[in-house]
Structure 1
Amino acid sequence: MSQPTTVKHYTRILSLWPKDSLRPNLPFTRTIERRATPYGVKPVSPPVEDAKNSDTSAGKPAPIAKSSPQAELPQINALYSLLENRYSKKYPISPGLLKPTSNPEHYDRLMEEIERAPKKSWLQAKMDEWKMKIRWQ
C-alpha cells in the first residue's frame, strides 16, 4: 500500500466515523486524525484546546512516529472492521442477554437515558444525579 492510498483510507474512515453526541469534546476521530497526520491527512475538525492543559506540556501527548504505509494496513483494517460492525455481526448476542429476568427493562432505559443525555441542561443533569442517590422505594 502506498502513502496516497493510506491517506485515502484514513480520509474515508474519518468521513464515515459516527459523531459522538454523548461526549462531543472527546471524539475518537481525534485519535484517528493524530494517527494519520504523519501521512498528510488534514484534520476534519479543528483541535479544541483544553483550558487546563493548554499552558502545560505534561498534558500533551507524544508525537507519533511515521511508519511505513504497509505497516498501517492492520490499523486501517481494524478501523474498517469497527465501522462495519463485523464483530457484532460475527458474534451476535442473544435477545435474552439484554433482558435479564431480574430487571428486563434495564438496557432499554439505559439506552433512552444515553439518547437524552446530550440534550439535558446542567440543572436537569444535576437533578437526575441527585435522584439516583436517593432510594425511592
Structure 2
Amino acid sequence: MSAPTRQEIHSLYRSYLRIVREWPSDKIRPNRGMKQILAQRVEETFRAPNTEAIDMDKARKELDALESLLDNTFKEKYPISDKILTPAGNPNYYSKLVSSLE
C-alpha cells in the first residue's frame, strides 16, 4: 500500500471538517460534547507533523460511520417502537425528558 498523497489527505481533512461543522451541539454539555471532541481529534490528527502516517482506510471507515450517525441512517433503518418509548411503568418518562432538554 502506497503512502497517501497530500491531495487525498487534504480531501479527507475537509470531509472531517464538514462533519464537525454539521455535528449538533450538546445541550447538556455545551463545552464538552461530541462536536468538541471530534474537532480536537481532527486537529490533532491532521495538523500533526507526520500526516503521512495516517491510516487512510481506517480514517475513511471512521468518516463513513460518523456520516451514518449524522444522517440518522440507523434511526431510519431501525425505528424505535411506541412500546419502547412509552414504558408501562412511566409512559411519559421520555417525553418529559425530551421537553426538559428543550
What interval of TM-score do these two structures reach, taking the shorter chain for normalisation? 0.7 to 0.9
Question: What corresponds to 1:95 in structure 2?
Answer: 82
Q: Does the CA contact (< 8 Å) of 1:6 and 1:39 recur in 2? A: no
> Is it true that 1:25 corresponds to 2:31 in the alignment?
yes
**Structure 2 counterpart of 1:35:** 41
**Of 39, 60, 68, which residue of structure 2 is paired with 1:73?**
60
Partners of 1:19 and 1:27 within 8 A in 2: yes
Percent of aligned positions that are identical:
31
Q: How far is 1:85 from its partner?
A: 0.8
Post-superposition, which runs of at least 4 consecutive aligned residues in structure 1 deviate over 6 A? none
Partner of 2:50: none
- 1:102 CA drift (Å): 2.2
SS for the counterpart of 2:33 is coil
- 1:31 offset after TM fit, Å? 1.9
Which residue pairs with 2:98 in the alignment? 111
Please report the TM-score for the alignment, with normalisation by the length of structure 2: 0.77
| Unaligned stretches of 5+ residues in structure 2 | 48-52
Q: Give the distance between the partners of 1:109 and 1:97, measured in 2 at CA.
A: 15
User: Aligned partners of 2:87, 2:58: CA distance in 1, in Å?
Assistant: 43
CA distance in 2, matches of 1:102, 1:31: 36
What's the C-alpha RMSD, in Å, of the aligned pairs? 1.7
- Measure, in 2, the Cα distance between the counterparts of 1:103 and 1:85: 27
Question: Which string of whole-angstrom CA distances, capped at 9 and with x for unpartnered residues, describes residues 72-117 of structure 1?
Answer: 00110111011011111111111121112222111111111222xx
> Helix, strand or coil for the counterpart of 1:104?
coil
Gaps of 5+ in 1: 41-65, 116-137
* TM-score, length basis structure 1: 0.59
Instruction: Tell me the SS of whatever aligns to 2:31.
Output: coil
2:17 corresponds to: 11
